[in-house]
Amino acid sequence: MPIPLSISRSGAFAKRDLPKGTTVTGTPLLVFPDIKWFDMYDFQTCPDGSEARNMTNGPYRQQLLLNYCFSHPESTVILCPYGSGVNYINHNKTRANVKVQWAQDGITSHQDKSLNTRPKKDIADYSTTVAFDYVATRNIAEDEEIFLDYGDVWEDQWKQHGEDYDNTYLKDYVSATEFNSRHGKDPLLTTEEQLLNPYPDNLFIRCHSLIESSKRIFDGNVSELATWHTWEGDNSGYSCEILKSDHKNEFYSVKVETHDTVSKKVSGVPREAIKFADHPYSKLYSHVRTMSCGSICISCSSSYEISTH
């Protein structure tokens, strides 16, 4: 099923009537010399135990941030805004009421001389010496939503992403936070039992970091586990496998790999020391918004006037 452009109804809205030509808002820009800065790679463990990007198979995705940045077809430079509220301005080709243009020299940290400076090839510029203004292209009424035309390339690739998007998994999707809330006290299935009755694909099992100091038998302070399951989005601890449980399903034998990449088996691990976590980039919003469809195409020649909902 295609993803509509209106999938997210967060937006930016005018706080008062804005005449044509008003600077509605503005933002400093981070400058990246090349789109390759947004490539994402799997990690591999090195012989010395450290982790590094696995460059063998190339990037598997680009960062979500790219969808909020600006580029031009005749340049490799990527400009990423981080001003308050600007990323709430949604795309609409027919209802666009603002345009982007370079800020005035000396305003929002913008320096005209920076426009004639070639970015260094391998260095991102975090000094914010360039900036955008978002300028009203017509009169905008109070409470009217602010729209920007992201460009034909962006819209075409968004539509293509919607057509290619596989959302069949959403029917059974459950986040780790919700799963822990529902099943945080349920007996756990061993790795062998999971072959016939697997947990959701987006989840994996983590053991509390107290297990790191344990040798063969868990000897952590159980009182420190009291709030672990209430930390939403918390991925602390270590990935572990459930090898077996006692007859009451109160304690478990697990196989865990800690930061030093040493795999060990620990028995007597209480249920409170084990919970589910989300695999990286498996959360619902990651699938909906991470599309690597490219940045917004541009052609460029205080107190701001928007609120965000």
Per-residue model confidence as pLDDT tens digits over 251-307: 999 998 776 667 889 999 999 899 998 887 666 544 333 333 344 554 443 344 545
Per-residue tokens: 170: 């959403």
Residues 6+ apart with CB under 8 A from 31: 77, 78, 79, 119, 124, 125, 130
Distance CA 145, CA 142 (A): 9
Per-residue pLDDT at 212: 79
**C-alpha to C-alpha distance for 254 and 39, rounded to whole angstroms:** 35
Report CA-CA distances (Å) from 143 to 136, 140, 231.
14, 9, 37
Note the maximum CA span of the chain: 74
pTM score, whole prediction = 0.58
Instruction: Tell me yes or no: is domain 12-165+291-308 CATH 2.170.270.10.
Output: yes
- pLDDT reported for residue 16: 93
How much is the pLDDT for 283?
A: 62
The answer to whether 210 and 266 have CB atoms below 8 angstroms apart is: no
pLDDT number for residue 36: 86
How much is the pLDDT for 18?
94
Domain ranges within the chain, ordered by starting residue:
12-165+291-308, 170-278
DSSP string, 10-79: --EEESS-B-TT-EEEEEEEEEES-GGGGEE--EEE-TTS-EEE--TT--SEE-GGGGG-EE-TT---EE
Angstrom distance (rounded) from CA 265 to CA 282: 28
| 182 within 8 A of 192, measured Cβ to Cβ | no
At residue 301, the pLDDT reads 37
The percent of residues in the chain predicted with pLDDT above 90, rounded, is 27
Q: What is the pLDDT of residue 51?
A: 72
Query: Element (H or E) spanning 179, and its range?
Result: helix 176-183
pLDDT digits (tens, 9 = 90+) for 26-52: 999 988 888 888 888 877 777 776 777
DSSP 190-202: PHHHHTTSPPPTT
Q: Which residues of the chain have pLDDT under 50?
A: 1-8, 233, 285-295, 298-304, 306
